[in-house]
Amino acid sequence: MPRSLRKFAAGSLAGVLVLAVAGCGAGGAKPVAQDPKAPLELWTRTTPGGDGEKGMKKLAAAFEAATGQKVVVTAIFDDFETKLSQRAAQKDLPDLVLNDSSQLGTMVSQGIVREVDLGSIKGSDQLLESALSVAKSGDGKTYGVPYSAQASALLIRKDWRQKVGLAAPKTWDDLTALAKAFTTQDPDGNGKADTYGLAVPGSTKRGYASWYFSNFLWAAGGDFIAKQSDGKYKPAMSTPESVAATKWFRDLACTSKVIQPGAATMDTPPTNETFEAGRTGLYVVGPYLLPRFDAGLGKDKYEVVPVPKGPKDSTVLAEGGSVYLMAGSANEAGQNAFASFMISADGQKLGMAGQKAFNVQLPVNKTVDITAVRKDPRWKVYADAYRDSGRYAPSIPNWTPVRQDTADTINALIADCSLDVTAELTKLDKKLAETLGKQGVAAS
């Protein structure tokens, strides 16, 4: 065992049998007998049997070797939230859940996570401020421990770009020009008009259209909802900046027609395939697809560059994963210890190890230099994008309905070119105002 892990193990699981007060689902708070040796049940959102599950089991094994604490890993991808809700109804939640950081508001509002005492999380002072901020709810309390981050960059078919004789785009105008060239100049040389510029997952499923569009909306100075001085929010999709960003994005589909056909019905899997199969040549996406595209397309065929600067700046969507300490656990000491391990330098480096799937995309521990772990310079493009330009979704009680409502509107606009952009965004803002009101965060 590495010396650093031995040191970690020494102070991680100290504790005695005590009584703690913890909530569990809708049943309210009740005393839970604490046993610091009780096995921990961990759920992770990933494909069962896949590389993500294998990587998490390696992390769990390293944690057990360091602490003696048993962790049972369960990988779930389909219907993750439904299955978690079922366990909550049974008042039998897993001890730990690794889930998207954007799910914090929803999980807090459901009452299924407990507040995190950062003083009990070893190494929490080494977390990047940007990462730690996403673990805080609107009330200022912490309800998760971020362990992985990611941000968006632009993937380009390098061979196509060289054939059409254009440089990597620096601005939106450059991006549009390159997308047009990929659509009209037969960059794959097969003599057919079967290539397109920008790959877009424009489906309403899980709010994908909104999720993707955020990279452009924020870079234009627009917003979904705008935080006010009193900490409340007001709808912002009908502001001039948001309208301009939406019109520009919609024109890619309706005017220049550089987005792949059927984008409005595609979530990420079929969109990924368009880039991999040589039907699209530009894709704004996170680093998790690099191993897939390296294997399926060829590392020499594409390049990774920063997303071109928008009318305002280069802001891109930041996301990541958090360790959620679930309510009702009989082993809160073990929960704290596992979270501490995941953010430790050793845990972060082990999570980044491998060549296929990564449990840690970008490190959140500021002492970990990604270039010392991954020699591939493309990863530094992503790390720089996260640290310099990354922005998380706002921390409101439930972000999901905001993302879904905006996805419905963006999807409709790229699917039906006859719709009036300003009118649709004005209607959207009325929906967003109702949603914010229901959540108690609407500005007066």
pLDDT in tens, 377-420: 999 999 999 999 999 999 898 899 999 999 999 999 999 999 99
Mean pLDDT of the chain: 92
Query: What is the pLDDT, as a whole number, of residue 354?
Result: 78
Domain's final residue, options 354, 370, 391: 391
Average pLDDT for 105-125: 95
How does pLDDT run across 135-194, given as a tens digit for each residue?
998 788 999 999 999 999 999 999 999 999 999 999 999 999 999 999 999 999 999 999
Mark whether 33 and 104 lie in a shared domain: yes
Q: What is the domain-level CATH number for residue 70?
A: 3.40.190.10
- In terms of domains, do 85 and 216 share one? no
Task: Tell me, yes or no, whether 225 and 157 share the same domain.
Answer: yes
Residue 444 lies in a domain: no
Half-sphere exposure of 73 (CA within 13 A, CB side): 23
Q: What is the pLDDT of residue 30?
A: 67
Owner of token pair 């930041």: 318
Q: Tell me the mean pLDDT in the region 327-333.
A: 97
Q: Are residues 274 and 385 in the same domain?
A: no
Say what the pLDDT of residue 138 is: 79
pLDDT at position 20 is 38
Neighbours of 353 (CB within 10 A): 15
pLDDT at 23: 43
> What percent of the chain has a predicted confidence (pLDDT) above 90?
86
The answer, yes or no, to whether residue 31 has pLDDT greater than 80, is: no
Domain count along the chain: 2
- β-pair type (71-76, 40-45): parallel
Among 356, 371, 391, residue at a domain's last position: 391
Distance in angstroms (rounded) separating the CA atoms of residues 377 and 366: 18
Percentage of residues in the chain having pLDDT higher than 70: 93
Task: Verify that 261 and 375 share a domain, yes or no.
Answer: no
Please write down the long-range contacts of 247-250, taking CB distance under 8 Å and 24 or more positions apart: 247/421, 248/172, 248/216, 248/220, 249/213, 249/216, 249/410, 249/414, 250/413, 250/414, 250/417, 250/421
One domain, residues 292 and 406: yes
Q: Tell me, yes or no, whether 443 lies in a domain.
A: no
Q: What is the CA radius of gyration of the chain?
A: 23
Structural domain including 225 reads: 153-316+396-438
164, 182 Cβ separation under 8 angstroms: yes
Q: What is the mean pLDDT of residues 250-279?
A: 98
Residue 138 and residue 33 share a domain? yes
- Asked if residue 162 and residue 102 are part of one domain, the reply reads no
Do residues 202 and 301 both lie within one domain?
A: yes
Answer whether residue 335 shows pLDDT above 60. Answer: yes
In a domain, 240, yes or no: yes
Q: Is residue 356 one of the residues assigned to a domain?
A: yes
- Domain match, 381 and 426 both: no
Same domain assignment for residues 169 and 257 = yes
